Amino acid sequence: MGMHEHPFSLSMSILLADVPLLERPALARRLGYESVESWWPWAHEVASRRELAAFAGSLEAAGTQLLLLNVCEGDAQYGGRGLAGVVGADDAFWRNWESVLALAERTGARHINVLVGDSARAAPVASARRGDSARAARAAAPGAGAHRGDPRLLGSRIGDRSAAGSEHGDTLARLTERLAVLADQAHEVGAGVVIEQLNRFDHANYLLTDPDDAVLVTRRARSASKQANIGLLSDVYHLARAGTDPASFVAAHADLVRHVQLADDPGRGRPGTGTIPIRETLDTLAITGYDGMIGLEYTPGPDELAALARPAELWRSLREPVPQGDHSA
């Protein structure tokens, strides 16, 4: 898994949310984490040079590595779940993307998590920036595969949907084109792109609440990209809440899984406190050869810092076999 005592990467944005931004990396390091993750650190889409330098400097000074960086979620008018597939958000998305690439390059971030936005607001993405139009033209060229509206672009399951579902499929097809472009651009700064499915109970309007949709989009975007640097962020909590067994999912799509995050159910609590078969999922990841980090992204309890300071203990508790007669998760 890459580290001697534990393979965890700490999500600073949720687990250290009460700590000032520039103090989070140092605290994460004191708690025992060399690898960290972050949502977009600012409320605004475009970060200033000073802001980028300060955040990157705080990571370097602490001796922490930014593993995963989210794009901006966008404000309430866009649904607050990302901008990549949201109608009317093109300008905001591309402004943020420029800042995301700049921060990823400065920090050496390995993964950029592209939040795709709310499906209720999603619409055909206007292709106008940094190669979208050229990518669409290449995808539609003779011998280059199906045109954007062809059901084959996302597989027969999406193509066979009702009229309303067909619109959803068209939106996913256009999103696929955009993700291929983003992956190529991320490669230029040494990063890759990941997308994740969010469950419909917590995020009813999100464009990718179906794990199968996330798989189809990722496979097609990877095929359309010049680089094989796009994959899945598999969050076991969201998978389980969608009615999907996380262990079976990561086994079936091992070639796509680029990053994994842990939280338990109910309540998106600390791993090991709920009903999700986390041990079995970790076993499956090991069998499939996954050698990446494991992100901790769960809702903290009242005394969470004390628990976070024992990452090796948490890792052992999740990996040790359940004593005979003890069937608790």
CATH of the domain at 23: 3.20.20.150
Low-confidence ranges of the chain (pLDDT < 70): 1-4, 76-79, 120-165, 322-329
In this prediction the pTM is 0.85
Under 8 Å CB-to-CB from 6, ≥6 apart: which residues? 32, 311, 312, 314, 315
86 in any annotated domain: yes
Q: Is residue 2 part of a domain?
A: no
What residues are paired with 113 via a beta bridge?
70, 194
- Are 221 and 255 in contact by the 8 Å Cβ rule? The answer is no
Residue 1 lies in a domain: no
> Residues 72-94: pLDDT tens digits?
998 766 667 899 988 778 899 99
Domain count of the chain? 1
Angstrom CA distances, 265 to 150, 246, 322, stand at: 38, 12, 19
Assess if residue 24 is contained within a domain. Answer: yes
Distances (CA, A) of 67 to 35, 107, 127, 191, 292: 6, 9, 29, 10, 10
pLDDT 10s digits, 162-215: 445 677 777 888 899 999 999 999 999 999 999 999 999 999 999 999 999 999
220 within some domain: yes
Q: Is residue 314 part of a domain?
A: yes
Query: Quick check: is 105 in a domain?
Result: yes
Give me the domain span that covers residue 213: 8-319
**Does residue 246 lie within any of the structural domains?**
yes
> Is the separation of the CB atoms in 22 and 55 below 8 Å?
yes
Rg for the chain (alpha carbons), in Å?
Answer: 19
Q: Which of 71, 134, 62 is closest to 98 using CA atoms?
A: 71
Taking alpha carbons only, the member of 285, 317, 245, 327 closest to residue 6 is 317
